[in-house]
Chains A and B, each alone.
Chain A
Amino acid sequence: MSDKSKSITNTQVSRRAVLAGGAALTASLFAPKHLRAADFPTEAVNTTGLAVTDDTVTIGILHSVTGTMAISETGSVQAEKLAIEQINAQGGILGRKIEYIQEDGASDWPTFAEKAKKLLVNDKVASVMGCWTSASRKAVLPVFEQYNGFLYYPTFYEGLEESPNVIYTGQEATQQIIAGLDWVAKEKGAKSFYLLGSDYIWPRTSNKIARKHIENFLDGAKVVGEEYYPLGHTQFNSVINKIRLKKPDVIYAIVVGGSNVAFYKQLKAAGIDMTKESPIVLTISVTEDEIRGIGGENIEGAYACMKYFQSLENENNAAFVSAFKEMWGDDMVIGDVTQAAYLGPWLWKAAVEKAGSFDVDKVRAATPGIELTSAPEGYVKVHENHHLWSKTRVGKAKLDGQYEVVFETADLVEPDPFPEGYQ
């Protein structure tokens, strides 16, 4: 079939963008030793028949560019392409340029499984950057395990999974949730929580963890309501009334997709002014990407808890943001997942170079302990359990659609996909 492999070298990215982004990254990643392909003969670095030639290596990008999830996944695709571009500008991996084959999961889980299999079986890609929803990951997981593929998965998600064939570059639920709850209880004195979510596994599992934490670990705090609405639901007046009745200190909202927009607009219209912080709105599902649809004026004053915000102040992030805008346009915003997706190719590069091979088994063995000092979020490190050590931050939404970082954990938070005491 017609493979849409595309050479990266001739796309539209300007040299400046690449240098801007690349400079910060190379400076800290590996000293700029130029790895030449000749030093790594193909038959030595690729013993399992992957799509590696003397000067290229092919990977897959598997996201939805059509269907309902395209809204969310676009940013991830852009970030992954940027990272690939920058890696190539630095000379690629083991002297080989990265080429990619992009497939569309079309927001449909069987299609994801089908395309994953195509990438692994037909195209023999060396790794795959992809998936966004848990459902799509669950659908492709057996494929990756059966054909021993290697997937970099960018989304914050519910945990309860630890596959040898997946690196989870987003946060699992406990990393994202606990620090935020502790913060709101300590800083804001919050005692009562109303848990709200879209009806599927991530919000339900996250709220379960949140409830356990609130009831067992926060002194005197309680959950006064917990509720779920179908995906795509657009009428929230009833729940807003219930919230008024219960008068919680915190509305803990994990609403996703189009429902998000409806929820915040209606919350605002109902006279709940988030800037007055009574109640406080704390969310783990609204990144800068979502605010574009919601409108800054509708969510100003709400708090979000995740590991990355575009407004983060450090050199890596400044370089990343400017390179991203250079490549995809000035009006782009970057959310948590977009940044996590950007880490994927870099983590893979680091692991391949450490292993000195593209073979999946060797890359996997080399992966735990990989560090990225160049990550826009600061510094991350891969845990034995294939998740990342990362800091958790709380941001306050501003009128312009950006978050102001008001808190960050002092240390990296350990990933714990199967948390004891939270199940």
Chain B
Amino acid sequence: MKRSFSSFMTRQDMVGFAILAVVIFVLLPISLDTFRLNLFGKYLTYAFVAIGLVLCWGAGGILSLGQGVFFGLGGYCMAMFLKLEASTPENTSIQSTPGIPDFMDWNQLTALPAWWEPFHSLAFALFAVVAVPVFFAFIIGVAMFRRRVGGVYFAIITQAFAAILTILIIGQQGYTGGVNGITDLRTLKGWDIRTDEAKEILYYVNGVMLFVVLFAAQFIRKSKLGRLLIAMRDQEDRVRFSGYDVAAFKIFVFCAGAAFAGIGGAMFTLQVGFMSPTLVGIVPSIEMVIFCAVGGRISILGAVYGALLVNWAKTTFSESFPELWLLGLGALFIAVVMVFPNGLAGVYSEHVAPRINRLFNKSAADMAGAKTPAE
């Protein structure tokens, strides 16, 4: 089947992608010092999750409150590789068992557990970054969607998964680093990831990965699958009666979201230099949903801007009024639900885009297609 490019991307989409590319690859690097740029790199890793949520929630109507699980799994896979590389026998000579990660030594492990072994290989670790989250998403997805669990139930059960994984990671500290997480990561194949140049390079790698994910998401949305998802969100039964396997589509999109989150987690580990259970739990999982909601749950580009905006606001706000930023965050949650249900994307398509269109004298017909209701 041959598809024309324009069905994959309208001219408007292309402009949107181009603007985002300029922002990420030109505007931010010019205007920020390395420290701030690294911060924005960290924010962008949350955008991976938010894009996945746009597919699951905005398009598919599946709200997962456990995306932190997938983000964390991806991040931990990466961290395990980096930790093994940092734990050479020379670096860890003061330990009673040199050559294993420091936290294992503190917990009286005398050998590397078997399931850590494969993470000596970068190729395996990179594979696991995607495969492990997808595997878990698949199991959860099959169990839930085959039985037609959805809506609020799905949200709460995924939330329980976030709680379970957090308790497990913290409790099994000999194998996972416990509440401290896996810290003090240094090099990637001998390349020091802590230097300023490394941070800048990682920022660009992160940006490129983000665009890969964005294109994948765009492809899914514009394919028949994407249209079916929206149809399912609005009238699930009709889609089912038309002969489609609704559960299979849901499982696929949930797995895709998990894969994106896993990649984001790995990029987080690389840029921040550690991974800890605080990124897995309930609170970060819900915050990731809000990034998506602020951007506009229907727009993948909006999700990126949402993640940037909320995190930037959080950092700025907590620098200026450290004791009040929760109020602002809470108000933002409520506002985005009650006043701007379509988030930034909604504001854009309702207020900004028409003006631009008028400016360029374009037909308003294009716009009607881009506009989508909230739920």
- A contacts B directly (C-beta below 8 A): yes
Binding site for B on A (CB under 8 A): 1-4, 65-66, 102-104, 106, 108-111, 113-114, 117-118, 121-122, 133-135, 138-139, 141-142, 146, 160, 199-201, 204-205, 208, 228, 230-231, 418, 423
Find out whether the CB atom of B106 lies under 8 angstroms from the CB atom of A160. yes
Find out whether the CB atom of A231 lies under 8 angstroms from the CB atom of B170. yes
A65–B325 alpha-carbon span in the complex (Å): 10
B289-301 near A? 1/0 per residue, CB < 8 Å: 0000000000000
Find out whether the CB atom of B170 lies under 8 angstroms from the CB atom of A138. no
Which residue of the partner chain A has the closest CB to B182?
Answer: A138
Find out whether the CB atom of B315 lies under 8 angstroms from the CB atom of A142. no
CB contacts (< 8 Å) of B184 on chain A: these are 138, 141-142
- Cβ 8 A contact of A142, one of B38, B106, B274, B322: B274
CB contacts (< 8 Å) of B103 on chain A: these are 201
Find out whether the CB atom of A106 lies under 8 angstroms from the CB atom of B318. yes
User: Counting CB contacts under 8 A, is B6 at the interface?
Assistant: no
A110–B318 alpha-carbon span in the complex (Å): 14
Find out whether the CB atom of B276 lies under 8 angstroms from the CB atom of A200. no
Which of B16-24, B113-121, B171-179, B239-247 lies on the face that meets chain A? B171-179
CB contacts (< 8 Å) of B279 on chain A: these are 110
Which residue of the partner chain A has the closest CB to B174?
Answer: A204
CB contacts (< 8 Å) of B183 on chain A: these are 138-139, 141-142
Find out whether the CB atom of A104 lies under 8 angstroms from the CB atom of B35. no
Min CB gap A121→B, angstroms: 5
Binding site for A on B (CB under 8 A): 33, 35, 38-39, 42, 94, 96, 103, 106-108, 167, 170-171, 173, 178-181, 183-185, 194, 272-274, 276, 278-279, 315-316, 318-320, 322-323, 325-326
CB contacts (< 8 Å) of B94 on chain A: these are 418
Find out whether the CB atom of B276 lies under 8 angstroms from the CB atom of A66. no
Which residue of the partner chain B has the closest CB to A106?
Answer: B318
Known: A117-B35, A200-B179. A139 touches B274 (CB 8 A): yes
A160–B173 alpha-carbon span in the complex (Å): 15
A151–B94 alpha-carbon span in the complex (Å): 23
Find out whether the CB atom of A146 lies under 8 angstroms from the CB atom of B170. no
Most buried by B among A104, A138, A146, A199: A138
Min CB gap B32→A, angstroms: 11
Which residue of the partner chain A has the closest CB to B102?
Answer: A160
CB contacts (< 8 Å) of A104 on chain B: these are 318, 322-323, 325
CB contacts (< 8 Å) of B173 on chain A: these are 200-201, 204
Find out whether the CB atom of A113 lies under 8 angstroms from the CB atom of B272. yes
Min CB gap A200→B, angstroms: 4
Most buried by B among A66, A109, A121: A109
Find out whether the CB atom of A66 lies under 8 angstroms from the CB atom of B320. no
Min CB gap A411→B, angstroms: 28
Min CB gap A139→B, angstroms: 6
A423–B94 alpha-carbon span in the complex (Å): 12
- Cβ 8 A contact of B35, one of A2, A102, A118: A118
Min CB gap A100→B, angstroms: 13
A142–B39 alpha-carbon span in the complex (Å): 16
Which residue of the partner chain A has the closest CB to B106?
Answer: A160
Which residue of the partner chain A has the closest CB to B268?
Answer: A110
